Structure 1
Amino acid sequence: MRALLRPLATHSVFSPIEAIVSVFVLATLAYFHILTGIKHSSFFAPTFPSALRPAYARLSKGHWSNAIKAEGAIELQQIVFALDDKARRVNPALALNSSSLSTIANQLIEDVLSLSGKSYGEICHSPSNVSTCFTHLDDNTLTLSFAPSARDDWTSALKQAGKFQVGDYQFEVQSIKREEPISEMKSGKWVAYALRALVLRFWELTKASKFEFFEFFRS
């Protein structure tokens, strides 16, 4: 060890400024390298994925079984109706009535055409023994079913339409905001996110058992 450090010490004595500059350059490079590693580390990734992924299953004789992706697949789209935050603050007791929801649901089904010019009835999914489309309205959620690869065409047209008027209610289409991954965050925003994720991770560790602890770090 002494043989390795002696040339460095000798160089530092005779060239102190160059040595200091070299140390600062190496420290800066190491600093940014560590930050890049932290930013792209899976440790700060959410424990559970924020984006929902489709699952395929087949119901046969009362039992569910795995199904091939292309085997009888249909695409479902849920549309949730809700009052905006401003209306809730003005009148917390205000709620959407069932007749307005039924009207807007029928309007979406009948009036909105896909980007290719097809109505919902032309691209929807209907069971083999039923001639009507599989559509369900429950409370404030409308569930629509589409033939494979037809949903995006219709939902894109719905987003372009933007707003719909039903009586005293004006409905505006809003998409769920995509959660920005830490690797795509700019400036110091990701630092705050990383600190928050770090605190939440260790908070989960305090509530985990010994076996869960090892499984936590193995993942």
Structure 2
Amino acid sequence: MLNRKTSLLFLPYRIRMCIYEIDRWISFKLTCLFKKPYFGIYLDACMQPPERLEVMNELIESEISKAGQDFKILEVGSWCGHSSTLWASVCNNIRASGVKDYIVPIRGTSDEMAEILKEAAFDLIYIDGDHAYSQFKRDLINYSKLCKIGGVLCGDDLPFMTTRDDLDEFFKEHKEENAVRDPITKINCCPGVFVAMKEFFGKDGVSVKDGFWAVRKSRDGWDKIQL
């Protein structure tokens, strides 16, 4: 009897959750039907925070205005394409043409694509693939080689560059996890990104703003840039 009462107690909650899931599914299917971009939570395709988008938008507009029309962008790990449409929309505004003309999806692992694209060179490379340390570090190594001199290497999910030893140790312990809750700041973070970035660029070698990071490639290495 107790179990039956408990089940009945949770019945309204289960009904609400069922309706919620159906609503999410319908929203996703309608979006696909009318061929609109989908950045909802049905596929965990949540949009970038507006503050971060503003930083990204300002950077790409500035870079394209300096480089001119022949500006090549490579995104590693597009997920559901929100950042891809941002890059393409800026190009679209400048070139006054359709966004789809400037996006070429290439399917494969980032390791495979690095080998296929090894002779290419890009003005801006955005790394947002696997955030586990081993793969993210490999992506940094592989794709930094494809960045032109004077080009920009960037990514996100880096709220800050830590200088605290205790936090560094925590991140190292969890570096192969995609995301964990930072015990000090109480925010979700990607420990593998922290560890790999610090090893690759040093503790103060990268510009960070609103979770977005960027550096410029020079003949001598990497330089911080104004965000």
The question of a shared fold, defined as TM-score above 0.5 by the shorter chain, is answered with: no
TM-score (norm 2): 0.23
Larger Rg belongs to: 1
Higher RCO (Cα < 8 Å, 6 or more apart): 1
The alignment's TM-score, normalised by the length of structure 1, stands at 0.23
